[in-house]
Structure 1
Amino acid sequence: MSGETISAAIITIASVICATAFVAAVFPPILGSSTPVISSTDALSDRIKTEVKIIHEEYNSGDSEVYIWVKSVGTNRIFESQIMNSDLFFGENGNFLRVPYNATGASNTWTYTLETGDDSTWDIGETLRITVHVPLSSGSEYFVKFISYNGISTDDYFTV
Protein backbone atom coordinates (compact mmCIF):
# COMPACT_ATOMS: atom_id res chain seq x y z
CA MET A 1 0.00 0.00 0.00
CA SER A 2 2.80 2.43 0.84
CA GLY A 3 4.45 1.58 -2.47
CA GLU A 4 1.33 2.68 -4.31
CA THR A 5 1.30 5.99 -2.41
CA ILE A 6 4.95 6.67 -3.23
CA SER A 7 4.35 5.79 -6.88
CA ALA A 8 1.33 8.09 -7.03
CA ALA A 9 3.36 10.90 -5.41
CA ILE A 10 6.23 10.46 -7.88
CA ILE A 11 3.81 10.48 -10.84
CA THR A 12 2.07 13.61 -9.48
CA ILE A 13 5.41 15.43 -8.99
CA ALA A 14 6.54 14.41 -12.48
CA SER A 15 3.24 15.65 -13.95
CA VAL A 16 3.61 19.04 -12.21
CA ILE A 17 7.20 19.37 -13.46
CA CYS A 18 6.12 18.50 -17.03
CA ALA A 19 3.24 21.00 -16.92
CA THR A 20 5.56 23.74 -15.60
CA ALA A 21 8.13 23.02 -18.30
CA PHE A 22 5.41 23.15 -20.98
CA VAL A 23 4.06 26.51 -19.74
CA ALA A 24 7.61 27.91 -19.50
CA ALA A 25 8.31 26.86 -23.10
CA VAL A 26 5.02 28.01 -24.67
CA PHE A 27 4.03 31.16 -22.72
CA PRO A 28 6.91 33.57 -23.69
CA PRO A 29 6.38 33.19 -27.46
CA ILE A 30 2.67 33.82 -27.00
CA LEU A 31 3.40 37.04 -25.10
CA GLY A 32 5.98 38.10 -27.69
CA SER A 33 3.53 37.59 -30.55
CA SER A 34 1.07 40.06 -29.00
CA THR A 35 3.48 43.01 -29.34
CA PRO A 36 3.12 43.36 -33.16
CA VAL A 37 -0.65 43.07 -32.80
CA ILE A 38 -0.71 45.88 -30.23
CA SER A 39 1.56 48.01 -32.43
CA SER A 40 -0.65 47.43 -35.48
CA THR A 41 -3.75 48.27 -33.48
CA ASP A 42 -2.20 51.56 -32.30
CA ALA A 43 -1.24 52.51 -35.88
CA LEU A 44 -4.72 51.67 -37.16
CA SER A 45 -6.31 53.70 -34.37
CA ASP A 46 -4.06 56.64 -35.26
CA ARG A 47 -5.14 56.43 -38.93
CA ILE A 48 -8.84 56.14 -38.04
CA LYS A 49 -8.68 59.23 -35.83
CA THR A 50 -6.87 61.34 -38.46
CA GLU A 51 -8.82 63.18 -41.14
CA VAL A 52 -7.77 66.31 -43.04
CA LYS A 53 -9.55 68.34 -45.71
CA ILE A 54 -8.29 71.01 -48.14
CA ILE A 55 -10.75 73.90 -47.79
CA HIS A 56 -9.27 76.62 -50.03
CA GLU A 57 -6.36 77.55 -52.34
CA GLU A 58 -5.13 80.98 -53.39
CA TYR A 59 -2.23 82.23 -55.52
CA ASN A 60 -0.26 85.36 -54.66
CA SER A 61 1.46 86.24 -57.95
CA GLY A 62 3.46 89.06 -56.39
CA ASP A 63 5.26 86.69 -54.02
CA SER A 64 5.10 83.55 -56.24
CA GLU A 65 3.37 81.72 -53.42
CA VAL A 66 0.36 79.43 -53.29
CA TYR A 67 -1.60 79.30 -50.06
CA ILE A 68 -3.45 76.09 -49.24
CA TRP A 69 -5.69 75.90 -46.19
CA VAL A 70 -6.14 72.44 -44.69
CA LYS A 71 -8.52 71.74 -41.81
CA SER A 72 -8.14 68.91 -39.31
CA VAL A 73 -11.57 67.30 -39.08
CA GLY A 74 -10.50 64.13 -37.25
CA THR A 75 -10.04 63.64 -33.53
CA ASN A 76 -6.29 62.98 -33.63
CA ARG A 77 -3.85 65.61 -32.29
CA ILE A 78 -1.09 66.13 -34.84
CA PHE A 79 2.21 67.45 -33.46
CA GLU A 80 4.56 69.84 -35.29
CA SER A 81 7.15 67.14 -35.98
CA GLN A 82 4.40 65.06 -37.60
CA ILE A 83 3.30 67.98 -39.80
CA MET A 84 6.89 68.39 -41.02
CA ASN A 85 6.93 64.67 -41.91
CA SER A 86 3.88 65.05 -44.13
CA ASP A 87 4.12 65.04 -47.94
CA LEU A 88 2.85 67.59 -50.42
CA PHE A 89 2.40 66.91 -54.13
CA PHE A 90 1.85 69.96 -56.29
CA GLY A 91 1.95 71.06 -59.91
CA GLU A 92 0.06 71.46 -63.13
CA ASN A 93 -2.57 68.82 -63.74
CA GLY A 94 -0.74 65.76 -65.05
CA ASN A 95 2.69 67.19 -64.26
CA PHE A 96 3.05 67.37 -60.50
CA LEU A 97 5.93 66.53 -58.17
CA ARG A 98 6.56 65.99 -54.48
CA VAL A 99 7.44 69.33 -52.93
CA PRO A 100 9.79 69.01 -49.93
CA TYR A 101 9.18 70.75 -46.62
CA ASN A 102 11.71 73.45 -45.74
CA ALA A 103 11.23 75.72 -42.72
CA THR A 104 13.20 78.56 -44.37
CA GLY A 105 10.78 78.85 -47.30
CA ALA A 106 13.31 78.31 -50.07
CA SER A 107 12.09 78.19 -53.67
CA ASN A 108 10.14 75.05 -54.67
CA THR A 109 9.49 74.04 -51.04
CA TRP A 110 6.61 74.41 -48.61
CA THR A 111 6.19 75.84 -45.14
CA TYR A 112 3.20 75.98 -42.82
CA THR A 113 1.53 78.09 -40.16
CA LEU A 114 -1.08 76.95 -37.65
CA GLU A 115 -3.66 79.70 -38.08
CA THR A 116 -5.92 78.68 -35.22
CA GLY A 117 -5.18 77.26 -31.81
CA ASP A 118 -2.90 78.37 -29.05
CA ASP A 119 -0.33 75.59 -28.96
CA SER A 120 1.94 73.67 -31.31
CA THR A 121 -0.49 70.85 -32.05
CA TRP A 122 -2.95 70.69 -34.92
CA ASP A 123 -6.22 69.74 -33.21
CA ILE A 124 -9.73 69.04 -34.45
CA GLY A 125 -11.25 72.08 -36.13
CA GLU A 126 -7.95 73.94 -36.46
CA THR A 127 -6.65 75.20 -39.80
CA LEU A 128 -3.17 74.79 -41.23
CA ARG A 129 -2.03 77.27 -43.89
CA ILE A 130 0.52 75.71 -46.21
CA THR A 131 2.61 78.08 -48.30
CA VAL A 132 4.11 76.60 -51.46
CA HIS A 133 6.96 78.78 -52.76
CA VAL A 134 6.68 78.34 -56.54
CA PRO A 135 5.75 80.51 -59.52
CA LEU A 136 2.62 79.49 -61.46
CA SER A 137 1.30 80.01 -64.99
CA SER A 138 -1.91 81.98 -65.30
CA GLY A 139 -4.88 80.09 -66.78
CA SER A 140 -3.57 76.63 -65.84
CA GLU A 141 -5.22 73.99 -63.69
CA TYR A 142 -3.17 72.81 -60.71
CA PHE A 143 -3.30 69.71 -58.54
CA VAL A 144 -2.46 69.62 -54.83
CA LYS A 145 -2.36 66.58 -52.55
CA PHE A 146 -1.49 66.72 -48.86
CA ILE A 147 -0.59 63.41 -47.18
CA SER A 148 -0.27 63.37 -43.41
CA TYR A 149 2.57 61.58 -41.61
CA ASN A 150 0.41 58.45 -41.28
CA GLY A 151 -0.83 58.26 -44.87
CA ILE A 152 -4.18 60.04 -44.63
CA SER A 153 -4.58 62.30 -47.67
CA THR A 154 -6.72 65.00 -49.21
CA ASP A 155 -6.43 66.46 -52.69
CA ASP A 156 -7.96 69.14 -54.88
CA TYR A 157 -7.71 70.87 -58.26
CA PHE A 158 -7.80 74.63 -58.75
CA THR A 159 -7.24 77.11 -61.57
CA VAL A 160 -5.08 80.20 -61.42
Structure 2
Amino acid sequence: MPEENEFLQVLDYLYEKNLMLQDTSGFNKVLYFYVIDSLAHIDYTAGIYAYNYASPKNIMGAEYLRWRVEEEKKGDRPKFPGFINWLRDNHKEKFETLPSLWQMIYDSEDEASYRSFRIVLDPDSKSPVPVKYFYAMIDEFFDPDFLKSIYDDASLGRLFAAYCTKA
Protein backbone atom coordinates (compact mmCIF):
# COMPACT_ATOMS: atom_id res chain seq x y z
CA MET A 1 0.00 0.00 0.00
CA PRO A 2 1.49 3.35 -0.93
CA GLU A 3 2.02 5.84 1.84
CA GLU A 4 -1.03 7.98 2.51
CA ASN A 5 -1.16 10.91 0.14
CA GLU A 6 -3.60 13.65 -0.70
CA PHE A 7 -4.85 11.92 -3.86
CA LEU A 8 -5.98 8.89 -1.84
CA GLN A 9 -8.10 11.31 0.16
CA VAL A 10 -9.57 12.64 -3.10
CA LEU A 11 -10.51 9.11 -4.12
CA ASP A 12 -12.10 8.46 -0.72
CA TYR A 13 -14.06 11.69 -1.12
CA LEU A 14 -15.31 10.61 -4.56
CA TYR A 15 -16.23 7.10 -3.38
CA GLU A 16 -18.26 8.46 -0.46
CA LYS A 17 -20.62 10.24 -2.89
CA ASN A 18 -23.73 8.57 -4.26
CA LEU A 19 -26.78 9.11 -6.44
CA MET A 20 -29.12 7.28 -4.08
CA LEU A 21 -31.61 10.16 -3.90
CA GLN A 22 -31.80 10.45 -7.69
CA ASP A 23 -33.86 8.44 -10.17
CA THR A 24 -31.10 7.97 -12.71
CA SER A 25 -33.54 6.31 -15.13
CA GLY A 26 -35.08 9.77 -15.62
CA PHE A 27 -31.77 11.44 -16.46
CA ASN A 28 -31.14 12.44 -20.04
CA LYS A 29 -29.17 9.44 -21.29
CA VAL A 30 -26.45 11.48 -23.03
CA LEU A 31 -25.96 13.88 -20.13
CA TYR A 32 -25.82 10.95 -17.70
CA PHE A 33 -23.25 9.20 -19.90
CA TYR A 34 -21.03 12.30 -19.75
CA VAL A 35 -21.51 12.65 -15.98
CA ILE A 36 -20.31 9.08 -15.44
CA ASP A 37 -17.58 9.59 -18.02
CA SER A 38 -16.34 12.69 -16.20
CA LEU A 39 -16.36 10.87 -12.87
CA ALA A 40 -14.34 8.07 -14.49
CA HIS A 41 -11.76 10.59 -15.72
CA ILE A 42 -11.60 12.17 -12.25
CA ASP A 43 -11.17 8.72 -10.71
CA TYR A 44 -8.52 7.69 -13.24
CA THR A 45 -6.53 10.92 -12.98
CA ALA A 46 -6.50 10.90 -9.17
CA GLY A 47 -5.75 7.16 -9.27
CA ILE A 48 -2.69 7.70 -11.45
CA TYR A 49 -1.41 10.23 -8.91
CA ALA A 50 -2.26 7.99 -5.94
CA TYR A 51 -1.17 4.55 -7.18
CA ASN A 52 1.36 3.02 -9.53
CA TYR A 53 0.34 3.33 -13.16
CA ALA A 54 0.27 -0.47 -13.47
CA SER A 55 -1.92 -1.05 -10.41
CA PRO A 56 -5.05 -3.15 -11.00
CA LYS A 57 -7.22 -0.13 -10.17
CA ASN A 58 -5.59 1.98 -12.87
CA ILE A 59 -5.54 -0.84 -15.41
CA MET A 60 -9.29 -1.41 -14.90
CA GLY A 61 -9.95 2.33 -15.16
CA ALA A 62 -8.00 2.56 -18.41
CA GLU A 63 -9.90 -0.43 -19.84
CA TYR A 64 -13.24 1.21 -19.04
CA LEU A 65 -12.09 4.48 -20.59
CA ARG A 66 -10.93 2.66 -23.75
CA TRP A 67 -14.36 1.03 -24.02
CA ARG A 68 -16.17 4.33 -23.65
CA VAL A 69 -14.30 5.84 -26.62
CA GLU A 70 -16.49 3.68 -28.89
CA GLU A 71 -19.57 4.26 -26.74
CA GLU A 72 -19.13 8.01 -27.17
CA LYS A 73 -19.87 7.60 -30.90
CA LYS A 74 -23.38 6.16 -30.40
CA GLY A 75 -26.71 7.97 -30.74
CA ASP A 76 -26.69 11.64 -29.80
CA ARG A 77 -23.51 11.35 -27.71
CA PRO A 78 -21.27 12.89 -30.43
CA LYS A 79 -23.38 16.06 -30.19
CA PHE A 80 -22.37 16.71 -26.59
CA PRO A 81 -19.17 18.75 -27.23
CA GLY A 82 -21.07 20.94 -29.71
CA PHE A 83 -23.85 21.34 -27.16
CA ILE A 84 -21.41 22.70 -24.58
CA ASN A 85 -20.09 25.26 -27.09
CA TRP A 86 -23.66 26.13 -28.12
CA LEU A 87 -24.50 26.79 -24.47
CA ARG A 88 -21.40 28.99 -24.16
CA ASP A 89 -22.48 31.03 -27.20
CA ASN A 90 -26.27 31.08 -26.72
CA HIS A 91 -27.02 30.41 -23.04
CA LYS A 92 -24.03 31.87 -21.20
CA GLU A 93 -25.79 31.86 -17.82
CA LYS A 94 -26.50 28.11 -18.12
CA PHE A 95 -22.98 27.41 -19.40
CA GLU A 96 -21.53 29.11 -16.33
CA THR A 97 -23.49 26.78 -14.02
CA LEU A 98 -22.09 23.63 -15.65
CA PRO A 99 -19.46 21.63 -13.82
CA SER A 100 -16.11 23.28 -14.45
CA LEU A 101 -14.68 20.07 -15.93
CA TRP A 102 -17.29 20.18 -18.70
CA GLN A 103 -16.58 23.86 -19.28
CA MET A 104 -12.85 23.25 -19.55
CA ILE A 105 -12.75 19.97 -21.50
CA TYR A 106 -15.52 20.59 -24.04
CA ASP A 107 -15.17 24.34 -24.61
CA SER A 108 -13.31 24.52 -27.92
CA GLU A 109 -11.60 27.71 -26.74
CA ASP A 110 -10.12 26.12 -23.59
CA GLU A 111 -6.82 24.25 -23.74
CA ALA A 112 -7.79 21.66 -21.12
CA SER A 113 -8.24 18.15 -22.45
CA TYR A 114 -8.10 14.46 -21.69
CA ARG A 115 -4.61 13.14 -22.51
CA SER A 116 -4.20 9.38 -22.26
CA PHE A 117 -7.47 9.55 -20.28
CA ARG A 118 -5.95 11.92 -17.69
CA ILE A 119 -7.37 15.37 -17.02
CA VAL A 120 -4.83 17.92 -18.24
CA LEU A 121 -5.69 21.54 -17.49
CA ASP A 122 -2.57 23.04 -19.06
CA PRO A 123 -0.82 21.02 -21.78
CA ASP A 124 2.44 22.91 -21.15
CA SER A 125 2.57 21.99 -17.46
CA LYS A 126 4.07 18.82 -16.05
CA SER A 127 2.48 19.43 -12.64
CA PRO A 128 -0.41 17.28 -11.44
CA VAL A 129 -3.87 18.76 -11.26
CA PRO A 130 -4.04 20.48 -7.86
CA VAL A 131 -6.02 18.57 -5.24
CA LYS A 132 -8.40 21.49 -4.68
CA TYR A 133 -9.61 21.13 -8.29
CA PHE A 134 -10.56 17.51 -7.71
CA TYR A 135 -12.68 18.38 -4.68
CA ALA A 136 -14.38 21.20 -6.59
CA MET A 137 -15.07 19.01 -9.64
CA ILE A 138 -16.51 16.21 -7.52
CA ASP A 139 -18.75 18.61 -5.60
CA GLU A 140 -20.01 20.16 -8.84
CA PHE A 141 -21.08 16.81 -10.30
CA PHE A 142 -22.91 15.88 -7.10
CA ASP A 143 -24.49 19.31 -6.59
CA PRO A 144 -28.26 18.73 -6.15
CA ASP A 145 -29.17 21.60 -8.48
CA PHE A 146 -26.93 20.23 -11.23
CA LEU A 147 -28.33 16.72 -10.80
CA LYS A 148 -31.90 18.06 -10.94
CA SER A 149 -31.05 19.82 -14.21
CA ILE A 150 -30.01 16.68 -16.13
CA TYR A 151 -33.39 14.96 -16.04
CA ASP A 152 -35.05 14.76 -19.47
CA ASP A 153 -37.73 17.25 -18.44
CA ALA A 154 -35.39 19.62 -16.57
CA SER A 155 -33.50 22.68 -17.79
CA LEU A 156 -30.32 21.09 -19.13
CA GLY A 157 -32.18 18.05 -20.45
CA ARG A 158 -34.59 20.29 -22.38
CA LEU A 159 -31.76 22.44 -23.73
CA PHE A 160 -29.91 19.34 -24.94
CA ALA A 161 -33.07 18.08 -26.67
CA ALA A 162 -33.54 21.49 -28.31
CA TYR A 163 -29.91 21.52 -29.44
CA CYS A 164 -30.22 18.02 -30.91
CA THR A 165 -33.21 19.02 -33.03
CA LYS A 166 -31.20 21.93 -34.45
CA ALA A 167 -27.87 20.13 -34.88
Q: Greater CA radius of gyration, 1 or 2?
A: 1
Please confirm whether the aligned pair reaches a TM-score higher than 0.5, indicating the same fold. Answer: no
Name the structure with the higher strand share. Answer: 1
- The structure, 1 or 2, with the larger RCO (C-alpha pairs under 8 Å, 6+ apart) is 2
Name the structure with the higher helix share. Answer: 2
TM-score scaled by length of structure 2: 0.24
TM-score scaled by length of structure 1: 0.24
